[in-house]
Amino acid sequence: MESEKATYAHCQKCGRWFKIGIRFVSAEAFENAKIKRTTKVCPYCKRASSVSKQSIRFDEIRIDGRITHTEGKYFL
């Protein structure tokens, strides 16, 4: 069984984290990715929020239960 991987965006309106449909195979791939600014609708407050590399994070939940958070850094 592989580890579970997910990418989350931080809503600038309500402050909650929500899953977005961007997939990465590893934290290293996430760190090296160049992501253009886009807009996503927060499922909690239903408002559009600007999403950029600095407002997303990559989480990997390993088989042993450990969670690794990798926060984005602005590259563009």
Could you tell me the residue range of the domain that residue 61 belongs to? 4-71
Please give the pLDDT value at position 76: 35
Tokens for 16? Answer: 């909650």
Per-residue pLDDT tens over the stretch 17-53: 999 988 898 888 988 888 888 999 999 999 998 898 8
Q: What is the pLDDT of residue 42?
A: 96
Residues 6+ positions from 57 with CB-CB distance below 8 Å: 7, 8, 10, 17, 69, 70, 71, 72
Least trusted range by pLDDT, from 6-15, 33-42, 63-72 = 63-72
Please report whether residue 13 resides in a domain.
Answer: yes
User: How many distinct structural domains can be found in the chain?
Assistant: 1
Would 76 be classed as within a structural domain?
no
Quickly tell me which residue has 């958070």 as its tokens.
69
Q: What percent of the chain has pLDDT above 70?
A: 93
For residue 58, the surrounding DSSP H or E stretch is strand 56-61
Backbone angles phi, psi at 47, to 5 degrees: -110, 150
